[in-house]
Amino acid sequence: MASVASVTPASAATAVTVAEPPKVSRGVKLTLFYLLLLIIAIIFLTPYLFSIFAAFKPLDQILSQSPARPPTSPTWANFKDLFTEYDFGRYLANTLIVTVILTAGQVTFSMMGAYAFARMEFPGREGLFWMYLATLMVPNVVTLIPLYVMFAKAHLLNTYWAIFLPYVLGVPQVVFLMRQYFMTIPKEVMEAARLDGCSETRILWRIVVPISRPIIITATLLAFVFGWNNFLWPLIVTNSNSLNVLTVGNANFSSNFAVQWNLILAGSLVALIPMVILFSIFQRYIVRSISLTGINR
Amino acid sequence: MTAAAAPILVPKHEKTADTAEAAERRQVRSAFTFLAPSLIGVVLFLVIPVIFVIILSLTQWNLLTPIRWVGFSNYANIFRFDGFGHSLLVTAYYVLLNIPFQTVLALGLAMLLNNKLPGSGLIRVICVLPFLATPVAMGIVWNWFFSPTTGIINELLGHIGITGPAWLSNSATAMPVIAFANIWQYVGYNMLFFLAGLQAVPAALYEAAGLDGASKVQQFRRVTLPLLRPALLFVLVTSVIGSFQVFDTVYVMTDGGPGNATQVANLNIYNTAFAGFRIGEASAMSVVLFVLILIITVAQFRYFNRRTVYEIA
């Protein structure tokens, strides 16, 4: 196949960029392409745009005006209310603390496990790895009740611990993702280091970590998004205002008799901003590391 | 040398730290040290709970009074009294609304955006934005969009002379709206996996297929799709498992209503366990849902494995 391609570099050049046959005129196709992109952008951005509009409107205007109308006199009152009338600063701090602990632990411990599975010899490796894979299929909801009972018996309900403990020691999904990546590192690298008398800890931190930055960033982002947006588990294990995370606090604005749209929309905006910043900085690593790993076996 | 070494092998061995055996033993020790945290996590928070939930499903318990052994009666009762059969049907309906659209759209988006034209990168980020927003918050925003009185959807429909339905309080439209909200939320995330899969397809394959006179459709069916099988398997398996467990959006958008038209399995489990405190029944529901998801997941793996073998090689 490769030899065929090398015969026709010229004709390939035009086809590769668009990955479509060059039958229709290029101008028409580009116009259609960008029209499609515009429609996609509208579909995905409109909800945010209207939410941003609404976050700067008082509640009565949100209810009476069309969402498509930009605020006539933008107000920061909703944001101020969140932080003064309600404990939104507390929710934000809770979420940040819990998510940072969860992410740091999950990524570090999953990485250690993944390295052991990928590049170390020990008895029972295959069996243990299959156990990890099998638990990958266990739906969240199945473990919900027993975990709740376990945490209740351990008197850990209504603590920070309860919110992050089930995820902080490493989860099979991330172990699997990182193991697939580490498998692409040549064995010889580790063997050479071992012969030089390097300890495994040193090999992991000094050799594997530096060359595995894309997958570590990906795992970190996925863990962070998961922790930041986790809803059902924190909802179940905490029931005091001082321990609320953003998702639970935000849902509470709507579970009352009247939905406080202004607060919810301003609150979601505050919650979204850190995610967007993180993701736009690191998105290129994600695609790269996914393509290098698991799903292509 | 060899003859002399043999008799004193054992005592000498302990002193030379770098013999192969000692190094091996050291590696095993560090391997288990590395493995320990995640192993404890997996056993404590996944393996033991699965065993525990099966045991709980055979009991009657409200978290306060002593646990009472009731055998398999919970499994009959959840279908007879708790409408769990209805919940499973509602869940299946949701999965059927969600998965086909979401998968096809994600694949289409990936193919559209798999190029280096200016703007594609930006649109990729925009498509993934919803995945970063909390489903709870977005569910609330959609509530507002689909509100019959103040919603933008019915306002737009009004402009072209259509009186829109009361979307979320109408049992015919409530579930499609929830499915739409979730597709919007996760299509970009799933696109990432297809995008990664597409980038691994050598461009030479398309050139060769083009030279052989393969049409666009043929190229898609014979080149793109077979090579995307691993990505497709991954996306289907994870999104089917995920959509069988749909909770957040339903909880904030309809809370199971109108009536119990959107009472999905997970919501029924949640209500039974944490509002009704009937832990035995809720555990039985979890076990049934787990077995269902397991069967469907294994079926997907088998289907894909049968069809992948010769095409990957």
User: Are the CB atoms for A218 and A103 separated by under 8 Å?
Assistant: no
Report DSSP letters for B43-69, one per residue: IIIIIHHHHHHHHHTTEE--SSSPPEE
Q: Between residues A202 and A140, which one has the greater pLDDT? A: A202
User: Are the CB atoms for A221 and A286 separated by under 8 Å?
Assistant: yes
The pLDDT of residue A12 is 42
| CA gap A240, A277 in Å, rounded | 30
Q: Which of B128, B144, B252 sits opposite A279 (nearest CB)?
A: B128
Partner-chain contact A296 B197, CB within 8 Å = yes
Return the residue matching tokens 């393509």: A291
The pLDDT of residue B307 is 61
User: Are the CB atoms for A254 and B140 separated by under 8 Å?
Assistant: yes
The pLDDT of residue B139 is 84
Q: Between residues A18 and A184, which one has the greater pLDDT? A: A184
Q: How many domains does chain B fold into?
A: 2
Residues of B within 8 A of A63 (CB-CB) are 150
Q: Which of A63, A131, A297 sits opposite B42 (nearest CB)?
A: A131
User: Are the CB atoms for A220 and A209 separated by under 8 Å?
Assistant: no
The pLDDT of residue B23 is 79
Q: Which one of A19-33, A277-291, B204-218, B283-297 scores highest in mean pLDDT?
A: B283-297
> Any idea of the CA torsion for A251, A256, A261, A263, to the nearest 10 degrees?
-70
Assigned domain for A159 exists: yes
Q: How many domains does chain A fold into?
A: 2
Q: Which of B50, B107, B132 to mutate to test the interface with A (most CBs of A within 10 A)?
A: B132
Closest CA to B82 of B298, B240, B236, B288: B288
| CA gap A75, A80 in Å, rounded | 10
Q: What is the mean pLDDT of residues B268-273?
A: 92
Partner-chain contact B290 A246, CB within 8 Å = no
Residue A165 above 90 pLDDT?
yes
Q: Prior bond to A21 cis, omega within 30? A: no
The pLDDT of residue A256 is 55
Closest CA to A97 of A244, A237, A218: A244
Answer yes or no: do A48 and A149 share one domain.
no
Answer yes or no: do A112 and A71 share one domain.
no
Work out the minimum CA distance from A50 to partner chain B, whole angstroms: 9
pLDDT, tens only, A142-164: 888 899 999 999 999 999 999 99
Residue B101 above 90 pLDDT?
yes
The pLDDT of residue B18 is 58
Answer yes or no: do B106 and B153 share one domain.
yes
Work out the minimum CA distance from B8 to partner chain A, whole angstroms: 25
Assigned domain for A7 exists: no
Answer yes or no: do B38 and B100 share one domain.
no
Confidence band, pLDDT 50/70/90 cuts, at residue A128: very high
Domain extent, residue B289, equals 84-312
Query: The CATH number of the domain where A91 resides is what?
Result: 1.10.3720.10
Work out the minimum CA distance from B52 to partner chain A, whole angstroms: 6
The pLDDT of residue A20 is 52
- Residues linked to residue B68 through DSSP beta bridges, in sequence order: B60
Confidence band, pLDDT 50/70/90 cuts, at residue A22: low
Closest CA to A206 of A192, A219, A218: A192
Answer yes or no: do B165 and B235 share one domain.
yes
| CA gap B254, B139 in Å, rounded | 9
Residues of B within 8 A of A51 (CB-CB) are 141
Residue ranges in chain B assigned as alpha helix (H): 2-5, 9-15, 20-42, 48-56, 73-80, 84-113, 120-132, 135-145, 152-159, 174-199, 203-211, 216-219, 225-244, 248-253, 265-274, 279-312
User: Are the CB atoms for B266 and B245 separated by under 8 Å?
Assistant: yes
Q: Which of B26, B44, B45, B63 to mutate to test the interface with A (most CBs of A within 10 A)?
A: B45
Residues of A within 8 A of B274 (CB-CB) are 148, 236
Assigned domain for A2 exists: no
Q: What is the mean pLDDT of residues A11-32?
A: 63
Answer yes or no: do B208 and B135 share one domain.
yes
- Read off the amino acid at residue B169: S
User: Are the CB atoms for B152 and B145 separated by under 8 Å?
Assistant: yes
Domain boundary among B41, B56, B71: B56
Answer yes or no: do B119 and B37 share one domain.
no
Closest-approach residue (CA) in chain B for A275: B132
Closest-approach residue (CA) in chain A for B41: A169
Answer yes or no: do A33 and A100 share one domain.
no
Q: Which one of A249-258, B32-41, B249-258 scores highest in mean pLDDT?
A: B32-41
Interface predicted TM-score (ipTM) over 0.95:
no
> Any idea of the CA torsion for A273, A274, A275, A279, to the nearest 10 degrees?
110
Residue B98 above 90 pLDDT?
yes
| CA gap B12, B21 in Å, rounded | 13
pLDDT, tens only, A95-123: 999 999 999 999 999 999 999 999 898 99
Look up residue B167 and give its DSSP letter.
Answer: G
Answer yes or no: do A122 and A200 share one domain.
yes
Q: What is the CA radius of gyration of chain B?
A: 27
User: Are the CB atoms for A128 and B35 separated by under 8 Å?
Assistant: yes
Answer yes or no: do A173 and A155 share one domain.
yes
Partner-chain contact A143 B46, CB within 8 Å = yes
Confidence band, pLDDT 50/70/90 cuts, at residue A24: low
pTM score, two decimals? 0.81
Answer yes or no: do A158 and A207 share one domain.
yes
Domain extent, residue A196, equals 81-296
Domain boundary among A8, A41, A75: A75
How high is the mean pLDDT of chain A? 83
pLDDT, tens only, B122-133: 888 888 888 888
The pLDDT of residue B221 is 84
pLDDT, tens only, A73-82: 888 999 998 8
Residue B145 above 80 pLDDT?
yes
Look up residue B163 and give its DSSP letter.
Answer: -
Q: What is the mean pLDDT of residues A263-291?
A: 80
Q: Which of B33, B38, B84, B286 to mutate to test the interface with A (most CBs of A within 10 A)?
A: B38
Confidence band, pLDDT 50/70/90 cuts, at residue A255: low
| CA gap B116, A120 in Å, rounded | 39
Q: What is the mean pLDDT of residues B135-146?
A: 83
pLDDT, tens only, A190-207: 888 888 888 889 999 998
Per-residue HEC secondary structure of chain A comes to CHHHHHHCHHHHHHHHHHCCCCCCCHHHHHHHHHHHHHHHHHHHHHHHHHHHHHHCCCHHHHHHCCCCCCCCCCCCHHHHHHHHCCCHHHHHHHHHHHHHHHHHHHHHHHHHHHHHHHHCCCCCHHHHHHHHHHHHCCCHHHHHHHHHHHHHHCCCCCCHHHHHHHHHCCCHHHHHHHHHHHCCCCHHHHHHHHHCCCCHHHHHHHHHHHHCHHHHHHHHHHHHHHHHHCCHHHHHHCCCHHHCCHHHHHHHHHHCCCCCHHHHHHHHHHHHHHHHHHHHHHHHHHHHHHHHCHHHC
The pLDDT of residue B1 is 40
Domain boundary among A52, A75, A98: A75
